[in-house]
Amino acid sequence: MDAHDPLLASLNPEQRTAVLALHGPVLMVAGAGSGKTRAITHRIAMLIREGVAPSAILAVTFTNKAAREMRARVEQLVGRGGVRVGTFHGFCASFLREEFPVIGRSGDFTIYDESDSVALMKKVLAEMKLDPTQNRPADLLRSIGRWKDKFLTPAEAVQASTFGSEAVAARAYVLFDAMMLKANACSFDDLMVQALRLLLDHEVVRQRWQRRITHVLVDEFQDTNPIQYALVRTLSAATGNLCVTGDQDQSIYSWRGADPSNFDNFLSDHPTARIVKLEQNYRSSANILGAASRLIAHNKRRIPKTLRTEAAPGEPVRVVVFNDDQEEAAAVADSAQRAVQEGADPNEIAVFYRTNSLSLPVERALMARGVRYRVVGGLEFFARAEVKDLIAWLRWMVNRQDTVSFERIINTPPRGLGDTAVERMEALALERGMALPQLAANAAALATLPERTRKSALAFCKLIGVLEASFQEGRGVRPFAEELLEQTGYSGWWATKATKAGSLDPFGNIGQFLTLAAEFDSTRGGTLADFLADISLLTDLDRTVDDGPAVNLMTLHTSKGLEFDHVFIVGVDYSILPHVWAELESRDDEEERRLLHVGMTRARERLVLCAAQLRSRFGQTVVTGPSALLDELGRDGVERFGDEAPRRDPRPFRQRWRDADGDEWAGIDAPVGDDDDEAHPLAQLREGSRVFHADWGCGEVTGLRGAARGLDRKVVVLFDGNQRRTLILRHSGLTLLD
DNA sequence: CCCTGCTAATCCACG
DNA sequence: ATTAGCAGGG
């Protein structure tokens, strides 16, 4: 091959092999920072140069962001677009929008996110007459999700589950899916389940897509679940042109059904597959790579792999243990600020953490120093009430069967159609054999309602008429959204409400949403349904416009696939990493180790790992201390500060205890026997007792709360001077005055 | 029917 | 520490 070929010149021999293996099954094992994206994009460019139509190439990435980057790089290489690059969810959504009519469903379905699904699950529970506190909707949805990951139908799940809570979940699954169908909605899991079912059950569809797509590439293959693998396997079955890329050491999504044994399945399904290994690391300093490699070597179930580097050792990896999370946050913020002052690009600085809640102290510390930052990922924006309201209105305009959205908007803003009114309308709808939304849009049918309800319902009905009249496809999403905000009276209502709640900029999020709509109108364009399908699959990560230089904050999971010059990882604490819940789910620590490994290998030049002895949790301070994983980094090229303390004994942090009354509660230590506590002077404290506190003075106990017993209860005190405080009795420092 | 104030639950990760 | 959900008064 020609070494001067621009598509090959910049590649090492391993990468060239990957690029040149154009047809047939290929497994690319690519360690962190080994130039995998480069190999994939050059491979796509090569395919196009060899005459494959761009639209016949499907590249599946893990995030929208990765998809955008890959698309841009391919376009830059070949000078033209058209390659199908997207996430599994994105591909399936557009597939279903086109193919649902084959089975008589509308392509204008609504994609339900987690909170929408919870709302629907609550209706399911109501129908089943189950108590939502006993059967938590989110738990049921998780069970259903696991069945869906395994491609089990509701009927099959019922058959497979005889045991108590599992049987309840299976019955909920049956009803939930029926209601989803009625609402013409799909959950994130459904997108893949329905797409695969269509492909498998309908030969016409299958052949259409197998002809349409001749080459399939999958990135982050270690994080695919069985359904996703079945999807790409089916799509590529006719040609066998399936190229998967991944690294088992970066498998961090087993909790959503990802199955690393897909690697083995791929090889047994494709015996002729070519295996290419990329083991040259181009990203990190030798010290960073060394520490990360020593860490991951502690995993037992792993094919040993060694990443090479030609980089200099660089500065040492630093491990710092602080007294508490405040100190930790302050130190990280100081260090980031100093780096910026010394000329570093803030965009090249990142702070990672295991759980989203850990971002808060860091955010405050950065804010206090005036350092600009952005929180990457998450759903904060799309979870805002006003954004959800507006989306619900738009959704319902497209899909009148969407009950979850309907119930959100029927009385938003308030128009006298509260719970009782809606119940009455539901009853009437049932009587008339109509769907509720249908009824709401039908003036004649509403005539029999009681005076007040009827008036409100008719007004709503009229409003729908006005909105329908002003809705014209092609005029753009933004103008319609603006009109909707006015016609429904939402703008005025929200302004008063938000101002009362103390918001300085009540239209901030709505404005951002409108900008998003305007962007859609001016770039991609399309119907309102297209727009809704797009934004349903977006996270805040994708909404981030170029907002200038800022330090990046994100979870370790979100960091996958990214790289930064400076990386700080906070909260490498006992009970946080490995996270205790991972233990409770009887998952071993290997995935948690991989998670830290992923975070570490994002760093190019500078890596700092932080832990704290004390950390605030639910507003209270708990003892944590450095994680045992920090011992596995070795000494070579690693500098430690404040990390001499012995590790805590590995007792699960969230140990469950049962008290004398049989009530279960969670805590660090075993409950102190009631016998000991009985003797304590505060044990006599009752509602109405007079008490004294060193900081707050005298006061009166107005209540005792919480599931705990004895001195572990919370006590509410109204101090003289009208200050109300809630304290844990044992640590309250109160003196009983009576 | 709407608003207020109190209570209980929350925080493991993602599209 | 924050917030969603609920009971009781206007």
**Window 493-532 of chain A: CB closer than 7 A to strand B:** 500
Strands A697-705 and A690-693: antiparallel
CB-contacted nucleotides of strand C (7 Å): 1-2, 6
Q: Which of A728, A715, A618, A624 is nearest to A672 (CA)?
A: A728
Residues A261 and A265: their CA atoms lie apart, in Å, by 6
B11 C1' closest Cα residue? A357
Q: Which residue is nearest to nucleotide B10 (CA to C1')?
A: A618
Over range A390-395, report the average pLDDT: 92
Neighbours of A73 (CB within 10 A): 18
Residues 563-622 of A with CB under 7 A from strand B: 579, 581-582, 585, 617-618
Q: How far apart are CA A617 and CA A667, in angstroms?
A: 12
Structure tokens at A180: 């989803």
Which class for A474: exposed (0-12), middle (13-18), buried (19 or more C-beta within 10 A)?
Answer: exposed
More confident position, A434 or A88: A88
* Residue at shortest CA–C1' distance from B3: A497
Residue A251 approaches strand B within 7 Å at CB: no
Per-residue confidence (pLDDT) for residue A730, from 0 to 100: 63
A87 touches strand B (CB under 7 A): yes
Report the distance from CA of residue A395 to the C1' of nucleotide B12 in Å, as an integer. Answer: 30
Phi, psi of A172 (to 5 degrees): -65, -35
Judge whether residue A679 has pLDDT over 80: no
DSSP annotation of A308 reads B
Residue nearest to nucleotide B6 (CA to C1'): A703
Across residues A569-593, what is the average pLDDT? 82
Structure tokens at A397: 């305009």
Q: How confident is the model at residue A654 (pLDDT cuts 50, 70, 90)?
A: very low
The span from the CA of A408 to the CA of A382, in Å, is 15
Say how far apart CA A220 and CA A260 lie, in whole Å: 10
Could you check: is the Cβ of residue A492 within 7 Å of any atom of nucleic acid strand B? no
pTM of the model: 0.85
Read off the tokens for A172: 């909920």
**CA-to-C1' span, A262 to B1 (A):** 56
Residues of A serving a catalytic function are: 36-37, 219-220, 250, 602
Q: What's at A348, amino acid-wise?
A: E
How many Å apart are CA A136 and CA A131, to the nearest integer? Answer: 8
Hey, is A276 helix, strand or coil? strand
Quote the CA–CA distance of A537 and A630 in Å, as a whole number: 36
Q: Quick one: pLDDT band at residue A153, thresholds 50, 70, 90? A: very high
CA A717 – C1' B7 distance (Å)? 15
Closest CA to A441 of A418, A464, A416, A410: A464
Q: How far does the CA of A494 sit from the C1' of C5, in Å?
A: 21
**What is the Cβ-side half-sphere exposure of residue A580, based on CA atoms within 13 angstroms?**
14
pLDDT in tens, A597-642: 999 999 999 999 999 988 988 877 888 889 989 999 998 999 988 8
Strand C: protein residues, Cβ closer than 7 A: A 132, 618-619
* Burial annotation A490-528 (CB, 10 A radius, 16+ → b, else e): bbebbeeebeeeeeeebbebbeebbebbbebbeeeeeeb
The pLDDT, as a whole number, for residue A677 is 55
- At residue A656, the pLDDT reads 37
CA–C1' gap, A89 and C7, in angstroms: 42
A72's enclosing H/E stretch is: helix A64-78
Better-predicted residue by pLDDT, A200 or A713? A200
Å from the A292 CA to the B9 C1': 38
A119 or A686, higher pLDDT:
A119
- Give me the residues paired with residue A725 across strands: A717
pLDDT digits (tens, 9 = 90+) for A449-474: 777 778 888 888 888 888 988 888 77
Q: Is the CB of A15 under 7 A from strand B?
A: no
Query: Can you give the distance from the CA of residue A252 to the C1' of nucleotide B12 in angstroms?
Result: 12
A454 beta carbon < 7 A from strand B? no
Q: A558 beta carbon < 7 A from strand B? A: yes
Surface-to-core class of residue A454, CB atoms within 10 Å of its CB (0-12 exposed, 13-18 middle, 19+ buried)? middle
For residue A286, what are the contacts with CB-CB under 8 A and spacing of at least 6?
A309, A311, A312, A313, A314, A637
- Token pair for A663: 């009530």
Does the nearest atom of strand B lie within 7 Å of A663's Cβ? no
Distances (CA, A) of A268 to A13, A250, A271, A438: 26, 22, 5, 53
Mean pLDDT score across all residues of chain A? 85
C1' (C8) to CA (A411) span, angstroms: 22
CA distance A454 to A289: 70
Query: pLDDT tens, A225-269?
Result: 999 999 999 999 999 999 999 999 999 998 888 887 888 899 999
Tell me the pairing of strands A638-641 and A317-324: parallel
Q: Is omega for the bond preceding A450 within 30 degrees of 0, making it cis?
A: no
| Distances A558 to A354, A381, A552, A563 between C-alpha atoms, Å | 10, 16, 11, 11
| Nucleotide closest to A65 measured between CA and C1' | B15
* DSSP H/E element including A249: none
**A585 has pLDDT over 70:** no
User: CA-to-CA distance for A554 and A173, rounded, in angstroms?
Assistant: 33
The confidence score (pLDDT) of residue A50 equals 92
Chain A 118..177 CB hits on strand B (< 7 A): 133, 136
